[in-house]
Structure 1
Amino acid sequence: MSIPIMEVEKKDSLVSDEEEKASGNVNYGNISPASLGSVQFKKDYNLKYAYVAGGMYRGVAGKEMVVKIGKEGMIGFLGTGGMELSQIGAAIQYIQKELSLGQPYGLNLLHKPSDLAMEEKTVDLFLSYGVKNIEAAAFLSITPALVKYRVQGLTRDQSGRIITVNKIIAKVSRPEVAQAFLSPASEKILSKLMDENKITPEEAGLAKEIPMADDICVEADSGGHTDSGVSFVLMPAMIKLRNEMMEKYQYHKQVRVGAAGGIGTPEAAAAAFMLGADFILTGSINQCTVEAVTSDTVKDLLQQINIQDTEYAPAGDMFELGAKVQVLKKGVFFPSRANKLYDLYRHHNSLHEIDEKTRLQIQEKYFKRSFEEVYNDVKSFYPASEIEKAECNPKHKMALIFKWYFGYSSRLALSGSEESRVDYQVHCGPALGAFNQWVKGTDLENWRNRHVDKIATKLLIETAQLLNQRYSTFHNYSLSEFKSTDNKS
């Protein structure tokens, strides 16, 4: 089953007869920005456009961005990863106050494999404020916190169909993860949550009839956590998987498939819709806008990049697992330094196994403080169980000390520290480089003129125009072939 670029009421025929087809008087210019994507997706989230502004780490996709995009008929997700619960709560209050009833918004939930307790506390905070939409990111499997969020409030309507109060858009880049989100919650997790009185037996029963996600967003090569996927490979496979899972479980409601990663130009957005995307999600291009909560110094750097100016580095929150993030390369040393730390971690069992010259280089050049000073900071941040483990396991202690650098480098970028610019960690994909080239020579070349809602609407307008042009070209080409064949006959 293929998904159309736009969903509109179908007519019996575009033309009345063969003569009108041959005349070329067919209107192929009926794609508008509002007609792109899935009608049901837009209806469910109360959107004008099938456009999502994804969450960005440490609140870079902040409350102002979420409000700005929500007022324009699109949905934005607050980037809660790395934020304190009190900060998240304050941001939710601001968003709920600024947006009218029904205007869309959501919050990102970034998987924390090393701190599942914090993940559950974050979900509890969402539930306490009545947050109805979340973007699940970097998950490798379904966790109890996710199930708890999804299942609470499930009911049936008069026709017997299940009503879901809490919606999940799952960002995925691997089929096995997509399959988990396209499946119902596991019996094991549901039973555990019931035993802990976190969900009711009725909710657990209804959970068996719905998928874990309302929507999956297929994430190709992107800024932040990435598996370096390719849209042209991922989208067809994920759509096929979605169709198979719909058939297997006989869900009453279609799970939509969106596209993310690499979308910074009309050509890229058009390709996503042509591949069958029900919606598109942008990230990197929003980091270089007025609303992005990062330093002007970072935005000045990002404004200058081209498509080759990003690099892969270890993910600080999944350091031991070897997960990767894509970050800014131009003008900074962070990618090479982060990769060096990971290589040292892989090949040594303790800090003492590393040669003295390298240890001094890390302390003086990377950290600008001693390992002992870093470890003191670490002890005040991690729970006691992690510190006890580090005291017994020198390799784990080394991992905690090295991971400190990732938080430090993010804070430097957010604050705009001039003296430590080379250590900035800035999550960013090549989509921003493509965007910079697209808007070069226009008023959007300067980031101070870039507002997240304006670049979104411009992108959608020109995507619709491009698709109309392409269809017109295809039609004219087919028409010329038809006339040529007719003349020969």
Structure 2
Amino acid sequence: MQVAMKNISDPVGLFYPVSSVNESVHNVVSQLRHIGQPLFLSNYEGETKLYPNNLTASVENQQKAKTFMGMVLPCRLENLGSPEFCQDHGIRYPYLGGSMAKGISSVKMAQEFGRAGMLGFFGAAGQSLEDVEAAITSLKQSAVPFGFNLIHSPSEPELEKSLVELYLHHEIRLIEASAFLSLTLPIVRYRTHGIYRNEAGEVVTPNRVIAKISREEVAARFFAPPPEKYLQQLIESGDLTSDQAEMAVEIP
């Protein structure tokens, strides 16, 4: 069996161009940088020509039509990632600004990320609880998507616990977990707080965690259900009901 392959230089069809582009290198590069619009290529009297924007596909007068050779497709920033991620977090672009400690990722930075259609995190590590609480107040008033950092503090477990209590008190629904080598009781408490089953029987977790991970085995722990020992401790402390603990085994 033989298969006839179309030569890449063969024309695709005919079209009426709306506008053309000056063929200087500067203008061609300039048009390519408009990544949100298509760029059409045609052959006109033996030379390749570029046409931006839309084309008139209907050809009534063959003499006015140009030979269509191909196109550069639009490459919008909104499409360079997961649309589900954008929908889940109420943003336009699937990009986030990770938190840098001691407020380097400041309230202002998180606000600007949110206003630009992205997701910014406040760098709570190394900050006092009072400063973090002030940042929470400011960001809540901004009415933009945002999150807060929770850094693993093995030498200061009470600080990690206090930060989680602060986030739960102020109903912070998204945290960025960093420097974790394994799961801890505070982060399991944050993740499972308020868990419930909806009318469709699906487990719903109001609190979300985005983890910065550098090791596969640590990532596996975050993708697995919470450890049983922590769920039991949360039941004993009254932070989780037995029913909620059963739901928690169905979530990462």
TM-score greater than 0.5 by the shorter chain: yes
- 2:159 corresponds to which letter in structure 1? M
Displacement, 1:163?
A: 1.5
* Aligned residue in 2 for 1:68: 112
Partner of 2:30: none
Q: Are 2:164 and 1:120 equivalent residues in the alignment?
A: no
Q: Secondary structure at the match of 2:209?
A: strand
Larger Rg over CA atoms: 2
What residue is the counterpart of 1:192 in the other structure?
Answer: 233
Residue type of the alignment partner of 2:84: Q
Equivalent residues of 1:153, 1:165 under 8 A apart:
yes
Question: C-alpha deviations, 1:290-336, integer Å up to 9, x for none?
Answer: xxxxxxxxxxxxxxxxxxxxxxxxxxxxxxxxxxxxxxxxxxxxxxx
Equivalences, count: 192
Query: Partner amino acid for 1:73?
Result: G
Q: Offset of 1:157 from its aligned partner?
A: 2.3
Alignment of 1:41-440 (within 5 A): 41-99=85-143, 103-211=144-252
The 1:130/1:20 distance shift into structure 2, 3 A limit, reads farther
Looking at structure 2, the residues matched to 67 and 200 of structure 1 have their Cα atoms a distance apart, in angstroms, of 36
Q: Distance in 2 between matches of 1:41 and 1:20?
A: 40
Alignment of 1:463-474 (within 5 A): none
Superposition deviation, residue 30 in structure 1: 2.5
The residue matched to 2:102 in structure 1 has which SS?
Answer: helix
SS in 2 for 1:108: strand
Tell me the distance in 2 between the aligned counterparts of 1:131 and 1:161: 22
Q: Aligned pair 1:30/2:74, yes or no?
A: yes
* 1:197-223 deviation per Cα after TM superposition (whole angstroms, max 9, x unaligned): 112222211110011xxxxxxxxxxxx
Amino acid at match of 1:43: Q
Cα distance in 2 between the residues matched to 1:168 and 1:91: 19
**CA drift at 1:26:** 4.3
Q: What TM-score comes out, normalization by structure 2 length?
A: 0.72
Deviation at 1:34, TM superposition (A): 1.0
CA offset digits 1:353-399 (Å, max 9, x no partner): xxxxxxxxxxxxxxxxxxxxxxxxxxxxxxxxxxxxxxxxxxxxxxx
- Deviation, 1:159, is 2.0
SS in 1 for 2:212: strand
Q: 1:124 to 1:28 in 2, by over 3 A?
A: same
> 1:20/1:201 Cα in 2 relative to 1: closer, same or farther (>3 Å)?
farther
In structure 2, relative to structure 1, the CA distance for the partners of 1:72 and 1:20 (3 Å cut) is farther
1:49 Cα offset (Å) = 0.3
Contact 1:20–1:26 at 8 Å: present in 2 too?
A: no
Secondary structure of residue in 2 paired with 1:59: coil
Alpha carbons of 1:206 and 1:20: their partners in 2 closer, same or farther (altered >3 Å)? Answer: farther
Measure how far apart 1:110 and its partner are.
0.7
Distance in 2 between the 1:48 and 1:127 partners? 27
Work out whether residues 136 and 168 of structure 1, in 8 Å CA contact, stay in contact via their aligned partners in 2. yes
Cα separation, 2, equivalents of 1:20 and 1:169? 48
What are the superposed Cα offsets for residues 423-473 of structure 1, whole Å, 9 maximum, x if unpaired?
xxxxxxxxxxxxxxxxxxxxxxxxxxxxxxxxxxxxxxxxxxxxxxxxxxx
Q: Residue 155 of structure 1: CA displacement? A: 1.6
In the aligned structure 1, how far is the partner of 2:82 from the partner of 2:248? 25
Q: Distance in 2 between matches of 1:153 and 1:27?
A: 51
Aligned pair in 2 of structure 1 residues 174, 94: CA closer, same or farther (>3 Å)? same
**Which structure has more RCO (C-alpha within 8 Å, separation ≥ 6)?**
1
Distance in 2, Cα, partners of 1:186 & 1:28: 50
Contact 1:56–1:79 (Cα < 8 Å) also in 2: yes
How far apart are residue 158 of structure 1 and its match? Answer: 2.3
Could you tell me how far apart the structure 2 residues matched to 1:96 and 1:20 are? 58
Residues 27/162 of structure 1: CA separation in 2 closer, same or farther (3 Å cut):
farther
Larger fraction in helix:
1
Aligned-partner SS, 1:122: helix
1:37: how far off? Answer: 0.1
Tell me which amino acid in the other structure corresponds to 1:41.
Answer: F
Q: 1:150–1:166: 8 Å Cα contact kept in structure 2?
A: yes
Greater fraction strand: 2
